[in-house]
Structure 1
Amino acid sequence: MNADLMNKIELLQRQEDADGIHKVVSDTIGHYGFERFIISGLPDRGVDVRPFVLLSGWDDEWYKRYTNLGYVHLDPVARNCFATTLPFDWSDAPYDRAGDPQARRVMDEAHDFGMNEGLCVPVHLEGGMQGVVSLVGRTDWLSEQQRLELHMLALYAHGRLRFLNTVQTDRRRRAISPREAEVLKWVASGKTAADIAEITGLSARTVNQHCENAQRRLGTNNRLHTVVEAIRHKLIAL
């Protein structure tokens, strides 16, 4: 096994935040000719992927488009992760270009963003959950040894991010109060501050204060972001 890769994996295991992991992964995959990546869980059909994303190294505009439009459920590469345990080239993900226009649209738009080729590593998790590490770049020159090395890197990166996510979840669960969690759950269901006030017996001002407190504790930018983070860290359940 490549000694430099083992050093990178050891470095990866010492990282304490997503920024550190992003740097190690970016530096390492760059030596294999890859430019961008995403590390994520894969949700059930119809479920928003954003709470499942562990780390994105994609172009921001493409990431927003892909997640906002629910492309994960149309993407033949993501779908193929449920059918195999082995890494595969994006071009090997089966779909009918003529008969599946939605999948064709995802692949064509990815191409427009310069994401023409890539390597996908499925990650099978406990409880039947599915994850993925997808790398953007040419694959035709990779040796079997290099594919094995990238497979190992992907599994370790995904595992380290899940571990850190669990630690952060425990900290954040202690950080928000039961009342804040209750209010966020109602916000997630589409209720307004006035609706929540009527349901809980609180004033609308107090409801808004609970939302602001949760936003501050979770380090989020707005109410929607707060709800997404609360769901992602399993602080609330829908």
Structure 2
Amino acid sequence: MASIEALQRQDSTDGVRSVLEGALDRYGFDRFIISGLPDKSKDIRKFVVLSRWDEEWFARYSERDYLKVDPMVRHCFTTSLPFDWAAAPYDRENNAAARQMLDEARDFGMTNGICVPLHLENGMQGIFSLVGDPTRLQITERLELQMLSLYTLGQLRFVSTFSAEDTTRRTITPREAEVLKWAAMGKTAGEIAEITGTTVRTVNQHCENAQRRLGTRNRLHTVVEAMRRNLITL
């Protein structure tokens, strides 16, 4: 993805924001927020990583503690997969607070969107929420958006906390890099095993070892982090 390559070249938060906004515009999403999801007693404004939400709406969302009733936020704690806003379950008839929040969001043009659950530092759950019509997205585009969100988060961490010592310590073996490269190209564990002349179990072990070395949460996150660190190239 050209956007991921462009993100990799950024060395500032403003640069990451510019690339991300350009990419999301091409997918048809005009507003977004990347944020941690703190305990409901805390102010979400302190945990926002990057945002292009309407300022008036975000102020209202924060002041009225809509974090506590937001169906999309609640659903992020039950799944690791991207989902359409409409797929976040809630009882419209009996949950007046959530209904009010969603109705007010529509007044600000936020009628539909897509969410990507994220894992932040120290085990905190996070969210990448985009405003727009997700129904026209192809399956590959949904995967691209998930990778874009993870890569954006990784690059933001990189520009704020990078150190040469950390890069030296967090590396992977040539075999792990080979497996991750094929995974990045969409190959299944079975297909990678056949290509590399190993077993599915060995392929999965290489992925798990790379995940542990890079401190990532899952296979997709591992692929993205390896790309960000130039440990694999496509």
Both proteins in one fold, TM over 0.5 = yes
How big is the shift at 1:147?
0.4
Aligned: 1:163 with 2:183? no
Partners of 2:161 and 2:125 lie apart in 1 by 17
Partners of 2:159 and 2:61 lie apart in 1 by 25
Within the candidate set 120, 132, 138, 1:125 is matched to 120
Aligned: 1:112 with 2:87? no
Q: Which runs of 5+ in 1 are unaligned?
A: 1-5, 168-238
Partners of 2:11 and 2:73 lie apart in 1 by 28
Partners of 1:54 and 1:128 lie apart in 2 by 15
- Residue type matched to 1:101 in 2? A
Aligned: 1:39 with 2:29? no
Q: Which residue of 2 aligns with 1:142?
A: 137
Q: Which residue of 1 aligns with 2:56?
A: 61
Partners of 2:131 and 2:103 lie apart in 1 by 15
Q: Which residue of 2 aligns with 1:49?
A: 44
Q: Which residue of 2 aligns with 1:19?
A: 14
- Residue type matched to 2:146 in 1? H
Q: Provide TM-score, normalisation by structure 1.
A: 0.65
Partners of 2:158 and 2:47 lie apart in 1 by 14
Q: Would the alpha carbon gap of residues 65 and 164 (structure 1) be closer, same or farther in structure 2, given more than 3 Å must change? A: farther
Indicate the SS of the match to 2:130. Answer: strand
Indicate the SS of the match to 1:133. Answer: strand
Aligned: 1:100 with 2:95? yes
- Residue type matched to 1:80 in 2? H
How big is the shift at 1:165?
4.2
Partners of 2:68 and 2:158 lie apart in 1 by 26
Contact 1:22 1:57 in 2 (8 A): no
Partners of 1:35 and 1:144 lie apart in 2 by 20
Q: Which residue of 1 aligns with 2:82?
A: 87
How big is the shift at 1:126?
4.8
Superposed CA RMSD: 1.5
Q: Percent identity?
A: 55
Q: Which residue of 2 aligns with 1:7?
A: 2
Contact 1:119 1:136 in 2 (8 A): yes
Partners of 1:13 and 1:123 lie apart in 2 by 19
Contact 1:54 1:162 in 2 (8 A): no
Q: Which runs of 5+ in 2 are unaligned?
A: 163-234
